[in-house]
Structure 1
Amino acid sequence: MTVFIIIGAIGLGLLVFSMFFGEILDVDAGGLLSVPGLAVALVVFGASGAITDSMGLPQFWAYIVAIVIGLIAYVGSALLVRNLSKSSDGVPRDVTGDTGTAMSRITNASGEVALDGSHEIERRLAFADGDIEQGTRIRVVQHLGSRVKVERESE
């Protein structure tokens, strides 16, 4: 059982490390090699082997069960990581010119707006040259990273 616990602990350490420093370990092999997938497989291998071993089955069966379940966990998590990386947004859409509503008071330092587009599902941080009251219709005049500069919408 000690072998399973050690392998599971190594997998857990690798999983935590890849969570914080994943870019260091990235290897692009067409999606076949996934460090988080390998870490999940090691954790599942260790856990399933320890559980099977604790059930009183022969050591041989503990290794067989751990290998099979670990491989299934690896394939599942590698596919999940690959699909999530393919669906990442990439470059944010420029919203200059879009209209919306001030959801809070907007000052030269802070504020929040909700834009009208169907693709806009979240509020955005905003700022303006002058104060804009909550509920005022706005137009985006500049897109700066995660924030937008807005002005009152001309009627």
Structure 2
Amino acid sequence: MLPFLIVGGVGLAVLLISLIVGDIFDHFEIGEGAISGTALGVAAVVFGASGVLTSTAGLDQVWAYVLAAILAIAAYLVALLLVKKLTKSSDGVPVSAVGQTGVTRSSISPSGGEVSLDGPHEIERRLAYSDEPIAEGVRIRVVEHAGTRVKVVAD
């Protein structure tokens, strides 16, 4: 039973590190994301837990290892699919803010300022800039969107 506890503990550590720090295997280009620290951690935890449960249920050690390995492989594949699906959804193309209106929250100049936009998926405030100075509290319209900043004009 000790090997199952060790593998499960190491898996828990890998899982926690991957969730807190980020996927530790992202830097290795192996099979286009075929290895995920989160999925490996899940698989090791499932291997350890299922091995301990089958060992304490009185199953032969050989069968405990076989069952634990099958469940760990299945858990790895499910976790890998979920990680890939979540990664794809979070890396989508950002929605353009061009054409949206809003209000300046600070004075806007060529060097910057802040605005609040009226869009349905908008964050509370955005960094903005303008060719002409715009005072605080003025209605604006977005004419350009570059990264997290928007270029605005008085509306």
The verdict on a shared fold, with TM-score over 0.5 as the criterion, is yes
Q: Greater shift after overlay, 124-133 or 64-73? A: 124-133
Name 1:77's counterpart in structure 2: 79
What CA distance in whole angstroms lies between the structure 2 residues aligned with 1:107 and 1:67? 62
1:54 corresponds, among 43, 56, 60, to 56
Q: Tell me what 2:102 maps to.
A: 101
- Equivalent position SS for 1:110: strand
Aligned mates of 1:34, 1:125 — CA distance in 2:
33
SS in 2 for 1:81: helix
Please tell me the root mean square deviation across aligned C-alpha atoms, in Å: 2.9
Q: Provide the aligned length of Structure 1 versus Structure 2.
A: 144
Shift of 1:70: 0.8
1:24 is aligned to: 27
Give the Å deviation of 1:146: 1.6
Q: Does the C-alpha gap of structure 1 residues 31 and 21 become closer, same or farther in structure 2, counting only changes over 3 Å? A: closer
Residues 106 and 126, structure 1, Cα contact 8 Å, conserved in 2? no
For 2:139 and 2:91, how far apart are their aligned partners in 1?
28
- Pairwise CA distance, 1:76: 0.4
Three-state SS of the structure 2 residue aligned to 1:130 is coil
Post-superposition shift, 1:91?
A: 5.0
- Are the aligned partners of 1:106 and 1:131 in contact in 2 as well (CA < 8 Å)? yes
- In structure 1, the residue matched to 2:5 is 5
Contact 1:127 1:147 in 2 (8 A): yes
TM-score in terms of structure 1 length: 0.70
Aligned ranges 1:85-96 → 2 under 5 Å: 85-90=87-92, 92-96=94-98
Distance 1:122 1:45 in 2: 43
Question: Deviation of residue 93 (structure 1)?
Answer: 4.7
Asked whether the 8 Å contact 1:6–1:46 carries over to 2, the reply is yes
Paired residue type of 1:13: A
Aligned identity (percent) is 38
Give deviations 1:113-146, integer Å, cap 9, x for gaps: 223xxxx52335144543332xx64211343422
Write the distance in 2 (CA, Å) between the matches of 1:132 and 1:90: 33
Q: 1:130 maps to which residue?
A: 134
* Structure 2, gaps ≥5 residues long: none
Q: CA deviation at 1:69?
A: 1.5
